[in-house]
Amino acid sequence: MSISPEEIKVVPRGPEPGGAGGAYRAFGETLRGLRTTMGRMFEKPVTIQYPEEKTPVYPRFRGRHKLHRFEDSHLEKCVGCSLCVAACPADCIRVVAAENDPEDRVSAGERYAAVYEINLARCIFCGYCEMACPFDAITMGHDYEMADYNRSDLIFTKEMLLAEPLERTPLRGEGE
């Protein structure tokens, strides 16, 4: 394929470096650089002082999981169906279901999760468990500060997942 002369765009090139003109331009550019850096000095730093200040997360941010109860009866929403376990690509959820005692119900359904563990060291925060859940019993929360000293401490049990997080992560409004 040949290029016609009209298609060729001539780009103006900068002056050749070196020589007296080059030295003069280099000096001018240095002054321009100095002015630029000095200008930055009078602007407010863009740093977010992380542990004290936090960037708010988006509403759909997928942080640490939460298990939910019904607000009126305080029964657990989870019925131990293990669909989340099936959906989990990282294989980090473990559910052991048990029959509800009609006298002392734990969940609203026939069965409940006697053991519900998420290994957060393995979790990839994909949110498939949330999507698989037929009762909206598990959702992805907004917490992301989960660092710990032990791998075993990263296995979250049902009580930990049901409890309110210790500290609320700042949330960004829709469209903010």
Contacts of 133 (CB under 8 A, 6+ apart): 78, 83, 84
Q: Do the Cβ atoms of 90 and 127 come closer than 8 Å?
A: no
CB of 15 to another protein, least distance (A): 17
**Closer to another protein at the Cβ: 26 or 171?**
26
The residue with tokens 């979790």 is 123
**Closer to another protein at the Cβ: 41 or 166?**
41
Q: H-helix or E-strand containing 142?
A: none
CB of 50 to another protein, least distance (A): 11
CB of 29 to another protein, least distance (A): 10
Cα(137)–Cα(143) distance, rounded to whole angstroms? 17
C-alpha closest to that of 78 among 86, 88, 68: 68
**Closer to another protein at the Cβ: 28 or 134?**
28
**Closer to another protein at the Cβ: 24 or 58?**
24
Token representation of residue 1: 């394929």
CB of 117 to another protein, least distance (A): 37
Cα(100)–Cα(110) distance, rounded to whole angstroms? 6
Cα(65)–Cα(131) distance, rounded to whole angstroms? 12
**Closer to another protein at the Cβ: 1 or 31?**
31
CB of 28 to another protein, least distance (A): 13
Kindly list the residues in this chain that would bind another protein in the complex (CB under 8 A). 23, 30, 33-34, 36-38, 40-41, 43-47, 49
